[in-house]
Amino acid sequence: MVTDRETLAKQALAEGRRLRDELTRRRMLELSAATAAAAWVGGNIAEARAAGEETHGPGWYTDDKLTGKVVMYTFAGQRWGLPPKAMLPTFKERFPNVEVEVVDEPVGEAYGKIQMRAASKSDAFNTQWADHNQLSALVNIGAMVDMDPWLAKDPGWTEDYFKDVPANVTVGYRSPQTPEGHTYMLASDSNAKLQYYRKDLFEKAGIKGPATTFEEAIEIAKELHAPDRDQYGFVTTARRGLFAGLELYQMVRSYGGVWFNDQWEPQFNTEIGHRAFSTLLKLMEYRHPVTINAADDEVNAVLAKGSAVFAPFEWGTSVLNNKDFTEFASVFGAAVVPKGETPESKHEPLMGGFGQYVNAFAKDQDAAFEFIKHMNSGDYTDSRIGLDYVMNTGQPARSSLLRKYADVNPYFIALADSIVVCTPAFPWIPEAFTVAEALGNDVVAVIAGEKDMETALKDIDAAQRQIMAESGYYD
């Protein structure tokens, strides 16, 4: 019936798309991810397994001597909750004596929960998803296991992974976070700020393509802004705290600025900081009303409804390409975020995404690593792994998967282009969230009209300096 891997993948993809069109969003969630993935591949699990040999890649091996239990903590919801569950059938084929439990908890307050769980030295889990912005905080308390010795045992797999996942991404999961650092997490999931726009409205207004510079972005926002028709030219996630902080930081990066200089002195009250903040405030003139209280969910909801039509720097998401979620799914375009107009400006989207680490305080670390590695394998180990990951709403970090499955999620191309030029969303220090929250509180005070920009920029630098001084950076 199926003779080669590519044909199988194409057939599965077509079947998946057909099923996705037929199923409602609710029904999709009701289906077990793993069962759905297997069903998409071959009609049922048995057939999918029978077809397994045809899908094996060079990284395929099995080990029935490996035993233990893997408990993985992840976040409920499509992008993070479903992909690890979808890995179970293929993982079981390879490691039949390893039991896996995927615990998906609500994503709310994720960073605090991850940190507290790790700080408590709990052995109730042996792997969890974490953010690269949190890596230094987790390494700092000795919560993670260096993966290099495991990776060294499988040089083929390691070479393939580091060739496929851009260095911009993998460096964030090393400690220290430099190319020479040791790998402490593998990143199955990637994200970056992307530029989302409505192709139909751009065409209608005679706007050619997405914005290249923020000057163009302001013009586009102005052109598309028609509040009397419930159409707003700009939307972003400016909720108080770190969301708002990252908005300004995105602008600062786009104008060639940095958060701290080499001496850990904050760099917001600078010429670049002023320019970046002014541009942000100009865009805010065309903002959708939800902007000031919005995180991703609120922004995606108004984009989906059509009352917001342009988001030049919004976190990458599959929902805007999902026709169960929005009637505009087919006309949403995605591109790399704009840059500033100055010579030092560059396209430098902030980086998101998650990796998985092995808990230093838990047992069965070998089994935990194998599960993480399996999930990060892409097609190198088995083409069903990449397929299952994507078809179960994952947002992979492997460029090969992003490009291969661009017809499933068209924004994958923009994401693939973005993650090779992206920059860390926070400074890579344990206090990342502390400085980001402080930054965001001042940014939103300006947007809300509680402070003027000049005062806020001075306050931002003062607050950042105070936090850094408390942490001993100036000793």
Using CB under 8 A, list all residues that contact another protein: 109, 111-112, 115-116, 119, 134, 137, 140-141, 230, 232, 239-242, 288-293, 302, 305, 307, 430-434, 437-438, 441, 444-445, 447-450, 459, 466-467, 470-472
Residue 173: strand, helix, or coil:
helix
Pairing of strands 127-131, 68-75: parallel
Q: Quote the tokens at residue 169.
A: 């991404």
Strand partners of residue 198: 332
Best CA proximity match to 322, nearest among 200, 401, 196, 411: 411
Task: CB nearer to another protein: give 375 or 447.
Answer: 447
Closest separation between CB of residue 463 and another protein, Å?
9
Task: CB nearer to another protein: give 12 or 447.
Answer: 447
Strand order in the sheet with 354-358: 98-105, 68-75, 127-131, 354-358
Residue 366: strand, helix, or coil:
helix
φ, ψ dihedrals at 92, nearest 5°: -65, -35
Query: With the CA atoms of 61, 103, 37 and 51 taken in that order, what torsion angle do they form, in degrees rounded to the nearest 10?
Result: 20
Closest separation between CB of residue 289 and another protein, Å?
4
Q: Is the peptide bond before 176 cis (omega within 30 degrees of 0)?
A: yes
Closest separation between CB of residue 304 and another protein, Å?
11
Task: CB nearer to another protein: give 198 or 373.
Answer: 198
Q: Quote the tokens at residue 288.
A: 């959708």
Task: CB nearer to another protein: give 85 or 117.
Answer: 117
Q: Give the separation between CA 224 and CA 234, rounded to whole angstroms.
A: 8
Q: Quote the tokens at residue 222.
A: 């102005």
Task: CB nearer to another protein: give 232 or 249.
Answer: 232
* CB neighbour list of residue 81: distance below 8 Å, 6 or more residues apart: 33, 74, 75, 102, 104
Q: Where are the beta strands (DSSP E) in 190-230?
A: 191-198
Closest separation between CB of residue 323 and another protein, Å?
20
* CB neighbour list of residue 412: distance below 8 Å, 6 or more residues apart: 395, 402, 403, 405, 406
Pairing of strands 354-358, 127-131: antiparallel
Task: CB nearer to another protein: give 21 or 475.
Answer: 475
Q: Which pairs count as long-range contacts for 218-225, CB under 8 Å and 24+ apart, including other chains?
A: 218/279, 218/282, 218/283, 218/286, 220/310, 220/312, 221/283, 221/285, 221/286, 221/310, 221/312, 222/285, 222/286, 224/198, 224/286, 224/309, 224/310, 225/286
Task: CB nearer to another protein: give 364 or 431.
Answer: 431
Closest separation between CB of residue 81 and another protein, Å?
21
